[in-house]
Amino acid sequence: MKDAIKQTLNEFHLRHTSCREEVLDSFFSANYALGHHDIEEGLKDNFDRVTIYRTLKTFVDKGILHKVLDDEGGLKYALCREACAHNHHRHDHVHFKCEQCGQTTCLETTHIPAVELPFGYSRRETNLLIQGVCPLCNK
Ligand SMILES: [Zn+2]
Ligand SMILES: [Zn+2]
Ligand SMILES: [Zn+2]
pLDDT digits (tens, 9 = 90+) for 77-112: 999 976 676 667 778 899 999 999 999 999 989 999
Residue 1 has pLDDT above 60, yes or no: no
Decide the pairing of beta strands 93-98 and 75-79. Answer: unpaired
Q: Which helix (H) or strand (E) holds 35?
A: strand 34-35
Alpha-carbon distances of 105 from 48, 54, 70, 128, rounded to whole Å: 27, 23, 11, 12
The closest alpha carbon to 131, from 93, 96, 92, 103, belongs to 96
Distance 96 CA to ligand 2 centre (A): 10
Q: Which domain holds residue 21?
A: 2-132
Q: Which of 87-91, 106-110, 124-128, 135-139 has the lowest mean pLDDT?
A: 87-91
Number of domains in the chain: 1
pLDDT of residue 31: 85
Cα-flanking dihedrals φ and ψ of residue 86, to 5°? -55, -40
Residues, CB within 5 angstroms of ligand 3 (ion) = 78, 106
pLDDT digits (tens, 9 = 90+) for 2-59: 788 999 999 999 999 999 999 999 999 998 999 999 999 888 888 999 999 999 999 9
| CATH number where 31 lies | 1.10.10.10
Q: Which helix (H) or strand (E) holds 34?
A: strand 34-35
Decide the pairing of beta strands 65-69 and 75-79. Answer: antiparallel
Query: Which ligand sits nearest to residue 80's alpha carbon?
Result: 1
User: 139 pLDDT band (50/70/90 cuts)?
Assistant: confident
